[in-house]
Amino acid sequence: MTKTPLLQARGLTKRFGGVVALGDFNVDVHPGEILGLIGPNGSGKTTFFNVVTGIYGIDAGKIAFDGADITGASPQAVYHAGIARTFQRSRLSLPLSIFDNIMIGNHKRLDQGLWFNLMRRKAFRRQFDESYRASRALVEVFEPRLADKLFEPVGNLPMIDRRRIEICRALINEPKLLLLDEPSAGMTHDETSELMNDILQVRDKHNRLTIVLVEHEMGVIERITDRCVVLNFGRKIAEGRYREVAADRQVQEAYLGAAA
Amino acid sequence: MAEADPQAAPRVAPKPRASLWPGVAALVVATAYLITLLAVERQQLIMGLLALAIVAFVAASWLGLLAPVIRSFAQRERALGALAILAVLAVAGYFREDHFVLLLLVTVLLYTVACLGLNIQFGYAGVLNFAGASFFGIGAYTSAVLNAHTVVPHLVVLLVGGLLAALIGSLLLLPVLRTRGHYAALVTIAFALLLKTFLEVNDVLGGPQGLQVRGMQVLGWSFNDNISIGGIELSFYMSYLALSMLLLVGAFILVLRLERSWIGLNLDAMRLDETAASCFGLNPARWKITAFTLGNFLIGIAGALFGMVGGFVAPNNYTFADSLILVSILLLGGIGSPWGVAVATVIVVVVPEKLQTIQEYRFLLYALLVIVVLLFRPEGLLPRPVRRYFPGWRQ
């Protein structure tokens, strides 16, 4: 690949006490690709997301995104740079409505001024109407049924709908890079494949949004990723097409244990 | 017109708008009840009336009579808000010569303003403020000092009281802005204790005896003179009541607009999940201090006016225990629910004043009330509805 990577991590290291959650990790994410990030539990996949999005500090290494250095940037700065994510354990605000949850993701497009919000109610109304149409259109791609329930609390919805809303929240402001942390967790096989189809459909509309996907469901990885990176104990042990990676001896040992 | 935007076309036939009448009926009943309660003096009768109210509330709740009332308040907010103002004026008009009752009503109005301030802080932003009474006191002391020693117009004094409370509050919160959890609560508890001690040992501010506060004068017209219009005598508290009502309406509109804006959404998102909100660009420190400052501003203004109404400020009126009462009003009414806060303030302020026999035990009563509410109606008397941006607006 000759294109410059959209996201580039070099020598990324994160320790928790004596545990090396991520050790000297290098990865390039190229524009337009879907990169799978796989590995056994505790291998550092979610840590990588948390480090990139600024939730955790970095002990060593560098991260560049879209030509800018985002090493040690705050979560707010990372969001504004154009990276959006979902969480492994759904982190929606359950008492809030679908619309509200999606609008949380739309933060940078909404006018946050005190004067605007309190005094200019007509202008606020226009922004509200615009946001309502945008969120409705996005939700309809995933599940038209939900579009009529935009003002119902998310807490009333089943898991698959919550996942959909979480992805809508990440997509509403058209990020350049989407980090999906185990979207299939807590869902059946069919629900997962339905969700993946929806994601691909949205992706086509968003001129080939770049995605990094953490997933345990290998069927999903095989079907939608262009490339895979395998982590074990915080270190990269393999990289390449799914079939190549799956055939890798080290990878098999990481998942199944070394042959006696 | 033929090419209507498909996005805008309604999918479901809109439900008919809620009727105005359940709300009107509830207001009339509440007004009549309040007038009766305030007029009656015999202790047994008052206890009977209170028992009746509890039974009626529980029964109405069981029979499903509360839901239509809440719906009509939610969807016909402007009309019912105007009627609620009229209801307060009707009660005040009935007791137009009764200083004691009018003072009680003014207290209710100003405490409601203060609790609306707490509601922004605790109900929306999740920042617990255990020094509500202290910020109220800062407002009141501002009135005492400025009215005695300066010629600052008294309406401006109210503003200064609010600004001073807001400023001191934000300085207090700055060091703990980056922390999570209940550090803010601890800092405010410390501040409440500290402020009382500071006032007690400070001779300039009158020490433990406190200070007199000169009554309000606007354009040469003194609020402390009784009013007589065409032979009708009105208590001087009537002018304070009118001003307090104006303040409350302003505060109410401010809080409702705040909740129904992107800022309200920010505050809710931050309270519910700070990490997730941060990942979507929200800066928790900014919104915590915004909410805390706005809330203290309201509390400070209410306190400044309350100082002028009472004519007297002393450290003992603004203790940690008083702050707890303000917080208990919030718990009782429903955290985040402005209407609930208003109802709860009436209960918490009026009941102990009318039931003289329990004066000594009023903290016990508050404690019991809060425990009972948390057990049986954990979201308060009037729970906060799901966020909406425009009253009556439907998809």
Other CB atoms closer than 10 Å to residue A223's CB: what's the count? 13
A118 interaction partners in chain B (CB closer than 8 Å): 254, 257-258, 261, 263
C-alpha distance from B379 to closest chain A C-alpha (Å): 13
pLDDT at residue A2, rounded to an integer: 52
Select the more confidently predicted residue: B358 or B158: B158
**Statement: residue A176 has pLDDT above 70:** yes
In chain A, what are the domain boundaries?
A: 1-82+177-260, 91-174
Contacts 24+ apart (CB under 8 A), B102-105: B102/B235, B102/B237, B102/B238, B102/B240, B102/B241, B103/B237, B103/B309, B104/B38, B104/B349, B104/B350, B104/B353, B105/B237, B105/B241
Q: Distance between alpha carbon B111 and the CA centroid of its chain, in Å?
A: 5
Give the whole-angstrom CA distance, residue A185 versus residue A176: 24
pLDDT at B13 over 60: no
A residues 110-169 near B, CB within 8 Å? 110-112, 114, 117-118, 121, 124-125, 128, 133, 136-137, 147-148, 150-153, 169
Judge whether B299 and B132 are in contact, CB under 8 Å: yes
pLDDT at B224: 72
C-alpha distance from A134 to closest chain B C-alpha (Å) = 10
User: Which residue, among A94, A107, A146, A169, would best test binding to B if mutated, counting the most B CBs under 10 Å from its CB?
Assistant: A107
- Given a contact cutoff of 8 angstroms between Cβ atoms, the answer to whether A195 and A164 are in contact is yes
What's the pLDDT tens digit per position in B365-385? Answer: 778 888 888 888 888 888 888
* Cβ contact A97–B8 (<8 Å): no
The percent of residues above 70 in pLDDT, for chain B, comes to: 95
**A95, A137, A169 member nearest B7 (Cβ):** A137
Residue B123: both structure tokens together: 């109900």
Q: Minimal Cα–Cα distance from A123 to chain B, Å?
A: 11
* A186 token code pair: 């807590």
> Quick check: B386 and A118 CB within 8 A?
no
In chain A, which among 30-49 make CB contacts under 8 A with chain B? none
Which site among A112, A128, A177 would you substitute to test the B interface, given the most B Cβ atoms closer than 10 Å to its Cβ?
A112
Block residue for tokens 């791609």: A141
Nearest residue to A85 (alpha-carbon basis) of A44, A112, A122, A48: A48
Q: Which residue of B has its CA nearest to A138?
A: B7
Residue B3 has pLDDT above 60, yes or no: no
Among left, alpha and beta (phi > 0; psi -120 to 50; other), residue B311 is left
pLDDT > 60? residue B6: no
Average pLDDT, chain B: 86
Q: How far apart (Å, rounded) are the C-alpha atoms in residues B147 and B142?
A: 8
The per-residue pLDDT for range B17-42, each reduced to its tens digit, is: 778 888 899 999 999 999 998 888 88
Put simply, the answer to whether B280 touches A121 (Cβ < 8 Å) is no
- Output the 3-class SS for A86-148: CCCCCCCCCCCEHHHHHHHHCHHHCCCCHHHHHHCHHHHHHHHHHHHHHHHHHHHHHCHHHHC
d(CA B213, CA B224): 12
User: In sequence order, what are the residues at sequence separation of 6 or more whose Cβ sits closer than 8 angstroms to the Cβ of residue B193?
Assistant: B320
Q: Which residue of A has its CA nearest to B12?
A: A148
Mean pLDDT of B223-230: 72
The pLDDT of residue A258: 63
A84: left (phi over 0), alpha (psi -120 to 50) or beta: beta
Q: Tell me how many residue pairs between chain A and chain B have CB atoms under 8 A apart.
A: 100
CB B17 within 8 A of CB B72: no
Is the ipTM beyond the 0.85 threshold?
yes
Q: Chain B interface residues facing chain A, Cβ-Cβ under 8 Å?
A: 7-8, 11-12, 254, 257-258, 261-266, 268-269, 272-273, 275-283, 290, 386-390, 395
Distance of alpha carbon B17 from alpha carbon A259, whole angstroms: 70
| Cβ pair B129, B170 in contact under 8 A | no
Residues of B in contact with A107 (CB under 8 A): 266, 280-282
Interface probe with A: pick from B262, B268, B294, most Cβ of A within 10 Å: B262
Query: What would the mean pLDDT of B224-251 be, rounded to a whole number?
Result: 83
- Show residues of chain B in contact with A53, CB under 8 Å: 279
Task: Specify the range with the lowest mean pLDDT, choosing from A73-87, A137-151, B158-172, B216-230.
Answer: B216-230
Given an 8 Å threshold on Cβ–Cβ distance, is B278 in contact with A112? no
pLDDT at B165 over 90: yes
Structure letter (DSSP) for residue A67: T
From B215, B217, B197, select the one nearest B137 (Cα to Cα).
Answer: B197
Residue pair B211/B338 in contact (Cβ under 8 Å)? The answer is no
What's the whole-number mean pLDDT along residues A116-128?
90
Is residue B80 predicted with pLDDT exceeding 60? Answer: yes
Question: Is the per-residue pLDDT at B8 higher than 60?
Answer: no
Test A79 with B281 for CB contact under 8 angstroms.
Answer: yes
Q: Do A104 and B389 touch (CB under 8 A)?
A: no
> Nearest chain B Cα to A86, which residue?
B276
- Verify whether the Cβ–Cβ distance B281 to A148 is below 8 Å: no
Structure tokens at B149: 């020693």
Of the ranges B124-133, B173-182, B376-385, the best mean pLDDT one: B124-133
Q: Which of B161, B363, B98, B361 is nearest to B106 (CA)?
A: B98
Asked if B280 and A107 come within 8 Å (Cβ–Cβ), the reply is: yes
Burial A77-86 (b: 16+ CB within 10 A, else e): ebbebbbbbb
For residues B132 and B135, give the distance between their C-alpha atoms in angstroms, rounded to a whole number.
5
Q: Which of B7, B272, B395 sits opposite A95 (nearest CB)?
A: B272
Share of chain B residues as helix, strand and coil, in percent rounded to the nearest 5: 70, 5, 25
pLDDT band for position B1 (cuts 50, 70, 90)? very low
User: What's A1-82+177-260's CATH class?
Assistant: alpha beta
pLDDT tens digits, one per residue of B294-352: 999 999 999 999 999 988 899 888 988 889 989 999 999 989 999 999 999 998 888 88
Contacts of A216 (CB under 8 A, 6+ apart): A38, A182, A184, A185
CA distance B260 to chain A (A): 9
Inter-chain residue contact A97 with B386, CB threshold 8 Å: yes
**Span A195-253, pLDDT tens digits:** 888 888 888 877 778 999 998 888 888 888 889 888 888 888 888 888 888 888 888 88
Nearest-Cα distance to chain A for B254, in Å, is 7
What single-letter amino acid sits at B123? G
Which residue reads 């929200």 in tokens?
Answer: B282
A178-188: pLDDT as tens digits: 999 888 887 88
